[in-house]
Amino acid sequence: MNQIFHPSMNTISRVSIFGAIFILAAIVAIVYYFVRSPYLTGVNVPINQPVPFSHQHHVDQLGIDCRYCHTSVEKAAFAGMPSTHTCMTCHSQIWTEAPMLEPVRESYRTGIPIPWNRVHDLSDFVYFNHSIHVAKGVGCESCHGRVNEMPLVWKEETLFMGWCLDCHRHPERQVRPVDQVFTMGWAEQAPEDYDQLTEGTKLATEYGLEDYRLDDCSICHR
């Protein structure tokens, strides 16, 4: 009987199969990295604002507390944005003619809020409450990064579900004394003998975090 295919086709077939596997794996890897790239997540990408507000200047250099502007962060689901009146408390006295602050003055004159661009925006089907995190010792920088070092704010973390779940399953890695929640650079300022996992485990117990299933779907999806 005559052979239909040349013996070399065996090699070609094997190479084609393995090549298809590698190509498929490469496609999966490319999609994976694309989904997690700054292009889609916005991580480390400064967000332009109507007014180039610098947290680095206001927080790090002037020492303004987070709660002065984000007044509801300790008692409400949302941290809240400062009203124009809050801005003008200072800027009616200093930098009163600065061109970059004209949108602030215009807002104050007209009563129309400044249209700030949101940096951290969870999906509508996700429930998140700032106040409970603050009350349980989760520092601002755990989610928002070192905002005090940002000339313009950017996302420090992806805010993907897996990232949230990692903290919910291991709160001892993040929780700190409640009176240090607003301290930036807590790891550098903590006492020398402070061990995060040891102290975090104690605090998690003290805060009652072990009494709940923090990775239950209903915690965030209600």
Residue where the block lists tokens 């006295």:
93
CA distance 101 to 156: 27
Asked if residues 203 and 175 have their Cβ atoms less than 8 Å apart, the reply is yes
Per-residue tokens: 176 = 């700190």
Per-residue tokens: 194 = 């402070």
| The predicted structure's pLDDT at residue 141 | 96
Cα 111 from chain centroid (whole Å): 30
Asked if residues 128 and 161 have their Cβ atoms less than 8 Å apart, the reply is no
Residue where the block lists tokens 């003008």:
88
The residues, ordered by sequence, that sit 6+ positions from 144 with a Cβ below 8 Å of its Cβ are: 120, 153, 156
| The predicted structure's pLDDT at residue 4 | 65
Query: Across the 222 residues of the chain, what is the mean pLDDT of every consecutive 10-residue run?
Result: 61 75 81 75 92 95 94 93 94 95 97 94 92 96 96 94 94 95 92 93 92 86 90
Q: Is 7 exposed, middle or buried (0-12, 13-18, 19+ CB in 10 A)?
A: exposed
Question: Which helix (H) or strand (E) element contains residue 32?
Answer: helix 8-35
**DSSP secondary structure, 166-210, as one string:** HHHH-GGGT---GGGTT-TTHHHHS-TT--HHHHHHHHHHHTTGG
Distances (CA, A) of 220 to 85, 124, 125, 212: 34, 11, 8, 13
CA distance 73 to 54: 19
